Amino acid sequence: MTLQHYLVISAILFTLGIFAVLTRRNAISILMGIELILNSCNLNFAAFSRFVTPPEDISGQIIAIFGIVLAAAEAAVFLAIILAIYREFGSIRPNEVDTLKG
């Protein structure tokens, strides 16, 4: 496995994430798309840390770990907001949540 393999996989993950956010009609699936995006970034950092930076420099891996923590925090807030949406609108489909426009 070379650096290119990892970068291609992470690019695919990133694109799939964006695709999920744009096309999915359910808030939970959107959240999953966002997780894919964040994980593609973590993969990038870990791969760069392995192949690009000198072996004693592990800052890329540290960033990846922080990325995981922030993704978890974001998921928690997102789920809480989905819950609030469900209570107010009785649905978590984004196209039914549209009182604000103009």
Partner 1 sequence: MQPLSNIDSLLHFSPEILLVIFAAAVIILDLVVKNRESVAVAHLALVGCLCTLAAVLFIHFSFGNEEPVALFLGMIQLDVFATFFKVLLLLATAATILFSLRSEELDAKLKGEYYALLLAITLGMFLMASSTNLLMIFIALETVSLTSYILAGFLTHSPRSSEAAFKYITYGAVASGTMLFGLSLLFGMAGTGDLTQIGGRLTELLASGEVSSLTVLIAITFVLAGVGYKIASVPFHMWSPDVYEGAPIPITAFLSVASKSAGFALFIRFFYTGFGSTGLMQFVDWPFMLAIVSALTMTVGNLAALPQQNVKRLLAYSSIAHGGYLLMGGVLLTSEGVGAILFYLLVYLFMNLGAFYVVVLVANEMGSETIDGYRGLGSRAPLVALAMVVFLASLTGLPPLAGFFGKWLLFTAVLEQGYYWLALVGLLNSVVSLYYYARIFKVMYFEDAEEETSHVSFSTGTFALLSTFVIPTIFIGFLNIFYTFSNISVSVLPMQ
Q: Which residues of this protein are in contact with partner 1, per CB under 8 A?
A: 14, 17-18, 21, 27, 30, 34, 37-38, 40-41, 44-45, 47-48, 52-53, 59-60, 62-63, 66-67, 70, 73-74, 77-78, 80-82, 84-85, 87-89, 94, 97-102
CB 43 within 8 A of CB 6: yes
Contacts (Cβ under 8 Å, ≥6 apart) of 73: none
Q: How many CB atoms lie within 10 A of CB 38?
A: 19
* Residue 70 Cβ vs partner 1, minimum distance, rounded to whole Å: 5
Of 9 and 78, which CB lies nearer to partner 1 in the complex structure?
78
* Residue 44 Cβ vs partner 1, minimum distance, rounded to whole Å: 4
- The whole-angstrom separation of Cα 90 and Cα 93 is 9
Of 2 and 99, which CB lies nearer to partner 1 in the complex structure?
99
Q: Considering only CA atoms, which of 97, 75, 77, 95 is closest in space to residue 87?
A: 97
Q: How many CB atoms lie within 10 A of CB 26?
A: 13
Of 9 and 37, which CB lies nearer to partner 1 in the complex structure?
37
Of 8 and 62, which CB lies nearer to partner 1 in the complex structure?
62
What are the structure tokens assigned to 79, written together? Answer: 């789920």
